[in-house]
Amino acid sequence: MTGFPTRRQVLSGTAGGVLASLAGIPPAGAAFAATTYTAPNPRVRIDLNKGWRFVREDVSGAENPGFDDSGWASINTPHTWNAVDGADGGNNYHRGVGWYRRRYTVPSELAGKRLYLQFAGVNQVADVWVNGTYLGQHKGGYSRFRFGVTGVLVAGGDNVIAVKVTNARDTNIAPVSADYTFEGGIYRNVSLWAIDNLHVRMEDYAGPGIYLRQSNVTAASATVTVTTKLWNDSSTTRSVVVRSVIADKSGTVVAESSSTAQTLAAAAGAEIRQTLGIDRPRLWNGLADPYLYSASVEIHDVTAGADRIADVVTERLGLRSVAVDADTGFHLNGSHLGLHGVNLHQERAVKGWAVTDADHTQDFDLIRELGANAIRMAHYQHDQKDYELADERGLIVWAEIPLVNSVTDSPAFTASTQNQMRELIRQNYNHPSIVFWGIGNELTDYNGTATNRLLASLAGIIEAEDPDRLSTYAVRGEDPDNAQAGLHTRTTGFNKYYGWYYGSKDGDLGAWADNLHANSPSRKIAMSEYGVGASTTQHALNPPKPAPGGSWHPEEYQALFHEAAWKQLAARPYMWGSFVWAMFDFASDGRNEGDRPGINDKGLVTRDRQIRKDAFYWYKANWASTPTLHITSRRWTQRTDATTELKVYSNADQVTATLNGTSLGTLSSGDHIFRWAGITLKPGQNTVLVTATINGSTYTDSVNWTLA
């Protein structure tokens, strides 16, 4: 694992005198003089994203080193072949095979190291060869995977990596279907890792190999149990000491512990558990203070009196306690925190799924601007960058596997889905932002035997792998509240679309929630999805509910919907969280609605991240502490009716408005909505200006509307 970038240093030489120094380390929790620590990093990570060849078809013999790929396209990863055809409608995007090939010369100084080829995400099935040797197959489009390539990838020589990828429909791999485009390709990063023969395990479901379990976390103290999975790939028995060090942001050591020397046979592994106590910890406290420690595990080869640091893994550590109460909702570090946030997909215009770290960061900048304090990362495991950003920014995360719509009653489907559950947990166990593990979304056969047998097994995996976090599941809005599928987990989310697919936006959501809470007072419930479509080019004054599958999705209806929905949700603290569907418009090639086919337009921001819709500012006015002053319907620039209204979202106490320089007066509001009804536009251009004082500073916003 990469740990803190500032600590990624390769130190030469050995840790001189380590046995003597380790012998003097006090036990965990004992007082010791403050020392600073910089984690060594003997690992080498090499980026392999550049210089690939690609063809979107199945080609015989492409795995062979001598195959002629000169006619293939030159590409870099991340890459997908569905960025365009997966977002143009018709549900006819390419679902089949694509081949990738790359030549690479491994630095000769890596000879003698253990080499691993790592893929951060390939959709959906990947078969990998190096120099014509078949390494294996990975099934599942969203999790990281690694293959050991020692002895196959030749240091100092020319090597050929070949990857066959398919996103063809496979009923034995989840998801079989879902409301988004299943984009094919090596759409996340590719890298080569070189490590010592004595090392922290790399093949534990491609997890970090060290697992930081925290307990008894209070302002006074915290306990961290560090489990390290070791492996000895050398040809001889080694004597090993494991040292764990927890340091704060300044590098000051706050806890450390060393194991006694362990004998580890060749081609064998072991698990070492160490318990460390931290006095007066600075807690990871969400948006208010997302404080992160670093936890480093050093593997010392002390065979025959040596004292060599063979391997080091550093992970972030955020100390926090979490709980959900059926009446009072979510609690972080013992204090109530109402979770309000968004659902996030990994897709954007032009690039599709092949997004960069900078793209991930931009998404989180927009989510933070919105004022959200939680994210449901739908409907699959996301790139590590998303979880790292959530750790850094203090956002609470609901992470889930891609079990959507349907279950195939087969041993292969069950095994694959359970494997994806374990990959999600092992690979992301140390992220403090993750609080909820999701086992599925909107399974239509909600009372089916196969469905519930699988869900029960997934909930059991969570309890076995990580009993400290909370399991959850998202129930389809059309299903009964007591559907069996929603009863396996500690908490439950509900995807409710009152005011869009059914019912009214005005009151139905609140009435449903109150009824469920009254009838099932012990259930811990959340609103996992709610939202409506909106086009930034379609406008109407206070429009009625549009046809969801129709071509008319005026932006103003989305704003009215979210005004009503949030007021109902905010008034019900027993709901532990609510998540808008969705943060961004995204590709769903089977859709044909709104102003363009192939797009789910329920986002608060457009797919290209260029336009924040009016509803975005409604939530910003309610959720964010930053000053907000926004005139709605600003893109409705060409008007045909002289009589209209001016509506403003703001977190100011008062807003003053003028129309063409004439005062419309000053309004106060207790709900962040300021509305001047019945204003009259003059023929030609009209200028609207609003002004407000927020936290002692003056802010303005203006629009120009033209009356034909």
Query: Cα–Cα distance between 408 and 393 in angstroms, integer?
Result: 38
- In this structure, the number of other CB atoms found within 10 A of the CB of residue 11 comes to 13
Give the pLDDT of residue 31.
Answer: 42
Query: Cα–Cα distance between 123 and 245 in angstroms, integer?
Result: 37
CA distances from 47 to 135, 189, 551, 656, 697 (A): 20, 8, 45, 55, 47
Give the pLDDT of residue 4.
Answer: 30
Which whole number is the average pLDDT over 79-105?
98
> Residue 120 corresponds to which tokens in the numbers above?
């951060």
The residue whose two tokens read 């059309």 is: 478
Answer CATH for 638-707 from 3.40.50.10800, 1.25.40.10, 2.60.40.10, 2.170.120.30: 2.60.40.10
What would you measure as the largest C-alpha separation in the chain, in angstroms?
92
Using CB atoms within 10 Å of the CB of residue 464, give its burial: 0 to 12 exposed, 13 to 18 middle, 19+ buried.
Answer: exposed
pLDDT higher than threshold 70 for residue 13? no
The residue type found at 147 is: F
Query: Cα–Cα distance between 243 and 302 in angstroms, integer?
Result: 12
Angle between helices 614-623 and 555-570 (to 10 degrees): 20
Give the DSSP per-residue string, 622-691. HH-SS--EEESSTT--EES-SEEEEEEEESSSEEEEEETTEEEEEEE-SSSEEEEEEEEPPSEEEEEEEE
**Architecture in CATH of 46-195:** Sandwich (2.60)
Give the pLDDT of residue 25.
Answer: 38
Q: Hey, what CATH topology would domain 14-33+201-317 get?
A: Immunoglobulin-like (2.60.40)
The catalytic residue positions are 442
Show the 3-state SS of 354-402. Answer: CCCHHHHHHHHHHHHHHCCCEEEECCCCCCHHHHHHHHHHCCEEEEECC
> Are the C-beta atoms of residues 348 and 180 closer than 8 Å to each other?
no
Tell me the domain boundaries of the chain: 14-33+201-317, 46-195, 638-707
Give the pLDDT of residue 400.
Answer: 98
pLDDT higher than threshold 60 for residue 26? no
The residue whose two tokens read 């033209």 is: 706
Number of Cα atoms under 13 Å in the Cβ half of residue 32? 18
Which whole number is the average pLDDT over 8-16?
26
Label residue 493 by pLDDT band (50, 70, 90).
very high
pLDDT tens for each residue of 424-459: 999 999 999 999 999 999 999 999 999 999 999 999
Q: Do domains 14-33+201-317 and 638-707 have the same CATH topology?
A: yes
pLDDT tens for each residue of 381-405: 999 999 999 999 999 999 999 999 9
Give the pLDDT of residue 43.
Answer: 98
> Are the C-beta atoms of residues 18 and 300 closer than 8 Å to each other?
yes
Using CB atoms within 10 Å of the CB of residue 45, give its burial: 0 to 12 exposed, 13 to 18 middle, 19+ buried.
Answer: middle
Give the pLDDT of residue 33.
Answer: 55
Query: Cα–Cα distance between 700 and 652 in angstroms, integer?
Result: 11
Smallest CA-to-CA distance from 321 within 463, 224, 215, 394 is with 215
Phi and psi based region of residue 172 (left: phi greater than 0; alpha: psi -120 to 50; beta: remaining)? alpha
Query: Cα–Cα distance between 499 and 507 in angstroms, integer?
Result: 9
pLDDT tens for each residue of 198-241: 999 999 999 999 999 999 999 999 999 999 999 999 999 999 99
- pTM of the full structure: 0.95
